[in-house]
């Protein structure tokens, strides 16, 4: 294992999230309820060549996981071309090249992406009921997303993870149904607490369904046992079915059980800003450095300096907490 980039609290940075676009074809109410805010000009969006250069440098600095996200990353044209540029980094220390998507375009593209070198996908799926799905995402696309998950499985983009944001009054009654879905399809079902990163600024603590409640709701139907994995920098607590059925449960509880002390993540926005935390209120323009004729050594020096500014933790619970100006769709969840 390569030496890692290390922040000023001793945390190793191994995981880079790259947002490919701020745009999205969905309108999830917890993310982009009123549609996209004014887009950054296209000229500010990093090109595939710039993303490739940045990722190569991050991998040389010890990053082992790259996750492509957004907005909806599959809206970016010729995504397989980018995947093809990043896949060779696996010979240089990259262990995992993944994509987080709403799944809408997967039926047509899963195999092409696999062939280009993508390892696996995480698909967002907030409801198994057509009406609730529509209410949460703003589109009547449940069937299409289910087909996308099936296509990803067929193409071997596995292990597939499914993300559901659990929000009171919407889908908390479906938690055990999702666990049944995980068993039936042999996927890892990850439940995520609702975070204050919505463009509508409608987040309230009352709407958060805690990780603890999520587990209790599953255990009303299925007994769980802790998965024997080293939690390390993992964001989720992981559980298996006590009866040995396939599938796995992950519970991501950043609001009620913050895991900042083990955070290994850093983010690059579509317009080339490094964000050292989901909840950062400042950004660092790697784009300017990349476009400023900087040498490789200068880019590295810049990245190392930015990593040292990584926040110790998020401040959701502090009285002075300010929701970041940019939302999840900009930051890259």
**Which residues contact ligand SAM (rule: CB under 6 A)?**
24, 30-31, 69-70, 72, 100-102, 124, 163, 165, 192, 194-195, 197-198, 328-329, 333
Stretch that binds ligand SF4, among 7-15, 20-28, 110-118, 146-154 (CB under 6 A): 20-28
As a whole number of Å, the end-to-end CA separation of the chain is 26
Q: Does 193 bind ligand SF4 (CB under 6 A)?
A: no
Q: What count of other Cβ atoms lies within 10 Å of the Cβ of residue 232?
A: 9
Query: CB-based contacts of 219: which residues, under 8 Å, 6+ apart?
Result: none
Query: Residue 194 binds which entry of ligand SF4, ligand SAM, none, with Cβ cut-offs from 5 to 8 Å by kind?
Result: ligand SAM
Q: Which of residues 164 and 307 has its CB atom nearest to ligand SF4 in the complex? A: 164
Q: How far is the CB of 104 from ligand SF4 (least distance, A)?
A: 8
Q: Which of residues 27 and 313 has its CB atom nearest to ligand SF4 in the complex? A: 27
d(CA 284, CA 247): 39
Binding to ligand SF4 in span 120-139, by CB under 6 A:
124
Q: How far is the CB of 92 from ligand SAM (least distance, A)?
A: 26
Which tokens belong to 196? 């204050």
Query: CB-based contacts of 141: which residues, under 8 Å, 6+ apart?
Result: 26, 104, 133, 134
Binding to ligand SF4 in span 22-51, by CB under 6 A:
24, 26-28, 31-32
d(CA 222, CA 240): 10
**Which residue number is nearest to ligand SAM in terms of Cβ?**
333
Binding to ligand SF4 in span 247-306, by CB under 6 A:
none
Stretch that binds ligand SF4, among 21-29, 186-194, 232-240, 282-290 (CB under 6 A): 21-29
d(CA 112, CA 79): 9
Which tokens belong to 83? 């995947």
Q: Which residues does residue 6 pair with via DSSP β-bridges, in sequence order? A: 12
> Residue 235 to residues 73, 87, 271, 332: CA-CA distances in angstroms?
22, 24, 26, 16
Q: How far is the CB of 219 from ligand SAM (least distance, A)?
A: 23
Q: What count of other Cβ atoms lies within 10 Å of the Cβ of residue 261?
A: 11
Query: Residue 163 binds which entry of ligand SAM, ligand SF4, none, with Cβ cut-offs from 5 to 8 Å by kind?
Result: ligand SAM
DSSP per position, 161-216: EEEEEEBTTTTGGGHHHHHHHHHHHT-EEEEEE--S--TT----GGGBPPHHHHHH
Q: Which of residues 137 and 280 has its CB atom nearest to ligand SF4 in the complex? A: 137
Q: Does 71 bind ligand SF4 (CB under 6 A)?
A: yes
Give contact residues for ligand SF4 (rule: CB under 6 A): 24, 26-28, 31-32, 70-72, 102, 124, 328-329
């Amino acid at each position: 294992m390569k030496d890692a980039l290390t922040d000023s609290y001793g945390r190793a940075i191994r995981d880079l999230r790259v947002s490919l676009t701020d745009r999205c074809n969905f309108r999830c109410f917890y993310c982009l309820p009123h549609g996209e805010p004014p887009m950054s000009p296209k000229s500010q969006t990093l090109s595939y060549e710039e993303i490739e250069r940045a990722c190569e440098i991050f991998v040389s600095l010890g990053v082992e996981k790259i996750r492509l996200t957004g907005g909806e990353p599959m809206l970016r044209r010729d995504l397989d071309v980018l995947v093809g540029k990043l896949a060779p980094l696996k010979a240089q220390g990259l262990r995992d090249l993944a994509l987080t998507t709403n799944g809408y375009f997967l039926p047509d593209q899963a195999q092409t992406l696999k062939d280009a070198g993508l390892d696996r996908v995480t698909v967002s799926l907030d409801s198994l009921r057509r009406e609730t799905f529509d209410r949460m995402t703003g589109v009547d696309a449940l069937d299409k997303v289910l087909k996308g998950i099936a296509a990803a499985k067929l193409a071997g983009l596995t292990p597939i993870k499914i993300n559901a944001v659990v929000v009171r009054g919407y889908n908390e009654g479906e938690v055990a149904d999702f666990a049944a879905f995980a068993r039936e399809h042999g996927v890892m079902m990850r439940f995520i607490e609702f975070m204050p990163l919505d463009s509508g600024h409608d987040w309230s603590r009352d709407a958060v369904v805690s990780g603890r409640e999520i587990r209790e709701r599953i255990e009303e139907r299925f007994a769980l046992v802790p998965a024997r994995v080293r939690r390390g920098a993992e964001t989720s607590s992981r559980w298996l079915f006590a009866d040995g059925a396939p599938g796995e449960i992950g519970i991501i509880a950043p609001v009620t059980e913050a895991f900042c002390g083990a955070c290994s993540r850093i983010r690059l926005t579509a317009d080339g800003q490094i964000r050292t935390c989901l909840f950062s209120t400042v950004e660092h323009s790697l784009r300017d450095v990349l476009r400023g004729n900087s040498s490789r050594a200068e880019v590295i020096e810049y990245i190392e300096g930015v990593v040292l500014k990584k926040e110790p933790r998020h401040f959701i619970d502090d009285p002075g907490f300010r929701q970041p100006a940019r939302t999840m769709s900009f930051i890259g969840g």
